[in-house]
Structure 1
């Protein structure tokens, strides 16, 4: 019997392209389930394949440890039930083992880009995506506003979470996460993939606008020009992948004042005052650039804040001067 089981494990492992230990684990589970059903046992069972035959043990927990007791069952019964389990229970256990392997494979891909096919669009807007071996969900909250999806569409997204729910693998995708944009840049820009250019920070308002801070150790390199490409040839396909999201690329610097200045592009600040204890910066721009610096619905200043980590108060040059004079008069009292 055991020799036949070993042959079965080898054969199935080869056919299913699974490790033998995974197939053996699935078969042991199938036999344990079948014995529990046949003998109406509620306790957990351990199954062992030995030269003497199949050994069955009842497993009971005692505090933090567990104890095993041989189950009083005849060899004939074990062989009969095992033969039945190999036919009836084994396939479902094997499917579960294959799903488990899929879970472990995709767990390693957490934080990476995956590509799949849209299989279903739920009424609540969530999308079921077929990744090949497993299915994933692109929740509505992780979709770029304005995008529409249909069954059969090919979809690219960031795998942000792989977890188990009721024993089944559950994969969550995102197209709105800042890391999705970073991974796209790493995929599409060779100099980023080869680490000649480093992505220091990414900030997004999905579907509207994003800001990316880039840095090159080689001071002769122009990281902004390389990432953007000639007439935007490199950044444009990435923007199109993100439903037309406008992407500003700025050069990162350790000089925080200068970094804030660059982050507020296309506006051109004329003065910046840092208040480190509050992690706040007061920024002066010409009156005619005030709306440009703030951006539509505050987009530009919000993204500059997320990119730099500084709270940014944008004001006209006149208001900046008045505030400076007020502070000086207060300090002089």
Structure 2
């Protein structure tokens, strides 16, 4: 009987392009499940395929130690159940093993961009995305707020993580993570991929605005111009992919005053006062540019705070001077 099962394992492994140990585990799990059902047992069982025959053990845990006790069952009865299992339970276990392998193949792609087809929009707003062999989940929280997804359309996203949830594998996707923007930039700008330009930091308000802090190894290179491209030829396709998200590319400097000025782009900054002990900065901008510096719902200054690591107070020139006089 065991010899026949070993041949079956070899044959199925070859047909399904699976490792023999995966097929063997699926078969042993199937036999254990079938014996459990047949005997109406509640304990966990373990099956071993030995030269002398199929052995079944009851598995118990004492403290952190696993103990195995032989199950009182005849060889004939195990063989009968196993023969039945090879036709039914085994196929179910094998399906499970194949699906698991499909998910595990995606572990190596964590942090990379994947493309799939929208298959279903769930009631909670999560989107199921067909990635070929398996399905991915684009949760509501990982979606760009203004986007609407339709069945059958292609969607590009970051493979955020492959995780096990309630005994099943899940592939979590994201379109809001800063790394998604980083990977889009790498794909569009060869100089980033080659390492000539380094991305120091990214801050995003998905679908609204993003700030990208960059540094060129060659001081003669203009990293901002390279990334933006001629008339926006490189940055515009990325902005379009992100539903019109405006992307400010900022050249990194180790001078905090200069960095803060650049971070409030597109607003012009007239003066900067640093309060290092509080990691806070007060900046003066022309009165008519105040709303531009702060941004809609405070987005521009919020992103500037995050990209520089400084808390920035944006003031009109008049208020800045008034505050200076009081100090």
TM-score bin (small chain): over 0.9
Q: Distance in 2 between matches of 1:82 and 1:108?
A: 36
Q: Deviations over 1:131-153 (max 9, x none)?
A: 11221222223221222211110
Q: Does 1:20 align with 2:32?
A: no
Task: Extract unaligned runs of 5+ from structure 2.
Answer: none
Shift of 1:123: 3.4
Q: Distance in 1 between matches of 2:12 and 2:228?
A: 51
Alignment of 1:84-163 (within 5 A): 84-163=84-163
Alignment of 1:179-190 (within 5 A): 179-190=179-190
Q: Does 1:5 align with 2:12?
A: no
CA RMSD of aligned residues (A): 1.5
Q: TM-score, normalised by structure 2?
A: 0.95
Indicate the SS of the match to 2:109. Answer: coil
Q: Distance in 1 between matches of 2:251 and 2:132?
A: 39
Change in 2 beyond 3 A, CA 1:196/1:25: same
Alignment of 1:243-262 (within 5 A): 243-262=243-262
Shift of 1:162: 2.6
Q: Distance in 1 between matches of 2:11 and 2:194?
A: 42
Q: How many residues were matched structurally?
A: 327
Q: Distance in 1 between matches of 2:267 and 2:157?
A: 32
Shift of 1:92: 0.9
Q: Deviations over 1:75-94 (max 9, x none)?
A: 11111111111111011111
Alignment of 1:1-333 (within 5 A): 1-327=1-327
Indicate the SS of the match to 1:199. Answer: strand
Q: TM-score, normalised by structure 1?
A: 0.93
Indicate the SS of the match to 1:119. Answer: strand
Task: Extract unaligned runs of 5+ from structure 1.
Answer: 328-333
Q: Distance in 2 between matches of 1:196 and 1:87?
A: 58
Shift of 1:187: 2.1
- The answer for the alignment partner of 1:331 in structure 2 is none
Q: Distance in 1 between matches of 2:255 and 2:24?
A: 59
